[in-house]
Amino acid sequence: MKKIKNSLLLLVQRLWISLELFNRNGLTNHAAACAYGFLLSAAPALLFIAFFILRTLAASPELAEDMLRQIAPLFAVFDIQDSADNFFSVSRPGLAGLIPLFMIFWTVRICALSIRLGLGIIFPGPKSIFRDNAVTLGFGILTMLFIVFILFALRQAINFLYSPGFSFLNIYSPFLIRLFFMFTLGLLILAAYRFIPANHPKVKNIIPGVLICLIFFMIFSAGFSLIISPDRYNLLYGALGRLFLFLVNVYFFFVFFFFGAQLIQVLGLSDALLFARFRRSHSKLSTPHLLLDRLFSAPPGPLKKYTGVYRKGDFIFTQHSQGQEVYYILSGKVGVYLDTECLNRIAFIEEGNFFGEMASATAEERVASIKAETDVSVIILPPELFHTVLQIDPDTNKNLIKTLSERLKSADQQIMSGFQNK
């Protein structure tokens, strides 16, 4: 039971950090840009899909029309019979047909570009004009092929479910079809998370992000459909009522899409982000908040492997010793000495502060000795983890610069006082 409780607590902590970073990065704006891009690119993309289906299934116009009915309700603007008649009666377009085809691809690129820019904020990496444009266009094409695949697979699934041998599954067909749709959508999301960022996240971190995106979207869409009546919007907006409701779902899908991506980044930098968020609460650097104080009142589970305890009088490290670990004081107080015997104390360092960061920054030997003046509990950060914390947390960086400046000033005063006494 305790293990389950700790796992749930860790999940909530990571989700909360993801939400803070999501808001800090302004990802709701990118979700809106994606929804706007979808508004511009979806209709041309669906027209291209309709053309592809009708050309591919020219020998079976009834099947093509039936498949087009799967996408027509999204916009309620397709006249299925008229579209089929026009596509089947048109002559081969030749080279001139490449121009509108290129324009369709370019329009689809708008939505793909918004996705790439949003993911680029979450997963920063090297810039490459060729790669960025190739990924953007490639993902747009992949999305259209994905929709075509869903339509073909959906048609086959319907034929399968309504065949005489499997008629008993008819009552479950809406659930099974929705399950199939969410599964294939999850594959597309996984591909976006994996291949669009310049620095590819690990698959083990991507899977939780995909699941969170899908779960949140399913909960929202189910609740939204219960609260909002499509008939009311159809009465107000006519054929566009369904389009309006659909675009609301699209916007929130992209909100959850970027939140899932943010969670992937949090999982990839879990130890560093958990430490940075815990330090803000422990050092009282953040605005007091009862819920957050309880949520981050103790070092998160993954940080416990870095904790250490020293008794009063213990040497934590001595001057001229080797080591680049950085120590963060959870409780207690240590003394700073400029000799190996710890006779010349120049300062105290108390709870909520670092020590040992100078050797980590310079990769040289320790410049002072540190002795526990009371029983001390610390988090011992390996140099790689400490440098990651400095990169992702500006507050730690500023606080560290301020602390080092104060210590240098105190050391200068100690040295000048010693010369004056002589």
Helices and strands (H, E) in the chain, number of each type: 15, 8
Q: What angle do CA 140, 141, 146 make, to 5 degrees?
A: 100
| Burial readout 347-359 (b: 16 or more C-beta within 10 A, e: otherwise) | bebebebbbbbbb
Residue % of the chain over a pLDDT of 90? 28
pLDDT value at residue 228:
73
Instruction: Report H helices in 228-356.
Output: 230-237, 240-268, 270-282, 290-295
pLDDT value at residue 50:
63
Token reading at 85: 């008649």
Residue type, 22: F
Token reading at 339: 């000799």
Q: For each of the chain's 422 residues, which pLDDT tens digit applies?
A: 778 888 898 999 999 999 999 999 999 999 998 888 877 766 666 666 666 666 666 666 665 666 555 555 544 444 445 554 555 455 555 555 555 556 666 666 777 888 888 999 999 878 777 777 777 777 767 766 776 676 666 666 666 656 666 665 556 666 766 777 788 889 889 989 998 888 889 999 999 999 999 999 999 988 887 777 666 655 555 556 566 777 788 899 999 999 999 999 999 999 999 999 998 888 765 555 666 667 888 888 899 999 999 999 999 998 888 888 999 999 999 998 888 777 778 888 889 889 888 887 777 888 889 999 999 999 999 999 999 998 888 877 777 777 777 766 666 666 666 555 55
Residue 396 per-residue DSSP state: H
pLDDT value at residue 80:
46
Residue 365 per-residue DSSP state: -
* Residue-range domains of the chain with CATH: 11-268 (no CATH), 273-421 (2.60.120.10)
- Residue 303: helix, strand or coil by DSSP? helix
pLDDT value at residue 381:
93
Contacts of residue 104, defined as CB under 8 A and 6 or more positions apart, other chains included, come to 44, 45, 47, 48
Secondary-structure breakdown of the chain: helix, strand, coil percentages, each rounded to the nearest 5: 70, 10, 20
User: Rounded to whole angstroms, how far apart are CA atoms 135 and 148?
Assistant: 20
